[in-house]
């Protein structure tokens, strides 16, 4: 029976590439979407036309009860989650001087609280079965910081603290927990940055001289989810074209 892989925020950008990669490797892929997303059905149809039979469930990952209900529904209808990719995230960029509590809370809840909310209802099942993969999608800006992103950088850095602590707790149970920290990836969100800014400010900071590809990050996710990665846990793997080395 195919293992179940749950990718939060899987509709579009990096999440979509991860869903496609995991499906191509034979996983039963499930994703989440915001409860108010009216285009979820359209996305599923587009993926179906490409031969990918995904399932999607509404879930407010920032809300604990919503996450609990979502995981229960997935477990009841499809089966227990074997691979969890905590990918959902938002930005609310502004200098700290302009940052208000609303925009701080929105990013912390969606990017960091969500990791607890989604991991909590699946982790015990993984340890009971003696196999599981938890993969947290952080950011290069969680490693080095970024101007105008105190909220985002704090949340993304916090994800790896969570990774390291949980990895220690479940290491003997056949469950690995790892972080991936992508740099600038050529998603729609990044490509929406004015070309002038990309070419003059961002790409010159990347030694490889280009943006990353979503498929490259998806390939790393696939490896961490594999049986071959069973001895790799508590790691934060940078995939940023050499932009930040540590």
Instruction: Please tell me the distance from the alpha carbon of residue 216 to that of residue 244, in angstroms, as a whole number.
Output: 17
Query: Which residues does 129 contact at the CB level (< 8 Å), separation at least 6?
Result: 80, 82, 174
Closest CA to 47 of 76, 10, 80: 10
- Cβ(80)–Cβ(28) under 8 Å? no
Hunting for tokens 């909310």 — which residue is that? 117
**Tokens, residue 133:** 């993969």
Sheet with 55-58, strands from edge to edge, namely 55-58, 28-33, 4-7, 83-86, 132-137, 175-182, 236-239
DSSP collapsed to 3 states, 189-236: HHHCCCHHHHHHHHHHHCCCCCCECHHHHHHHHHHHHCHHHCCCCCCE
What dihedral do alpha carbons 115, 117, 121, 124 form, nearest 10°? 50
Catalytic residue among 152, 184, 223, 246: 152
Catalytic residue list contains 223: no
CB 221 within 8 A of CB 135: yes
Q: Which residues are catalytic?
A: 152
């Amino acid at each position: 029976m195919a293992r179940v892989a749950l990718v939060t925020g899987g509709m579009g950008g990096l999440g979509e590439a991860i869903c496609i990669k995991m499906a191509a490797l034979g996983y039963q892929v499930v994703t989440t979407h915001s409860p108010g997303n009216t285009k979820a059905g359209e996305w599923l149809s587009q993926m179906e036309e490409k031969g990918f039979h995904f399932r999607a469930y509404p879930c407010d990952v920032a809300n604990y009860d919503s996450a609990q209900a979502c995981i229960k529904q997935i477990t009841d209808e499809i089966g227990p989650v074997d691979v969890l990719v905590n990918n959902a995230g938002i930005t609310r960029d502004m200098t700290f001087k302009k940052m208000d509590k609303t925009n701080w809370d929105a990013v912390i809840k969606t990017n960091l609280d969500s990791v607890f909310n989604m991991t909590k209802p699946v982790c015990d099942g993984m340890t009971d079965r003696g196999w599981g993969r938890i993969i947290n999608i952080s950011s290069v800006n969680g490693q080095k910081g970024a101007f105008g992103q105190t909220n985002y950088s704090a949340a993304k850095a916090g994800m790896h603290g969570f990774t390291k602590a949980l990895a220690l707790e479940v290491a003997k149970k056949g469950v690995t927990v790892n972080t991936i920290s992508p740099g600038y990836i050529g998603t729609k969100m990044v490509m929406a940055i004015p070309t002038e800014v990309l070419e003059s400010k961002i790409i010159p900071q990347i030694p490889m001289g280009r943006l990353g590809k979503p498929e490259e990050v998806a390939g790393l996710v696939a490896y961490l989810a594999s049986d071959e990665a069973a001895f790799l846990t508590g790691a934060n793997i940078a995939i940023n074209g050499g932009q930040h080395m540590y």
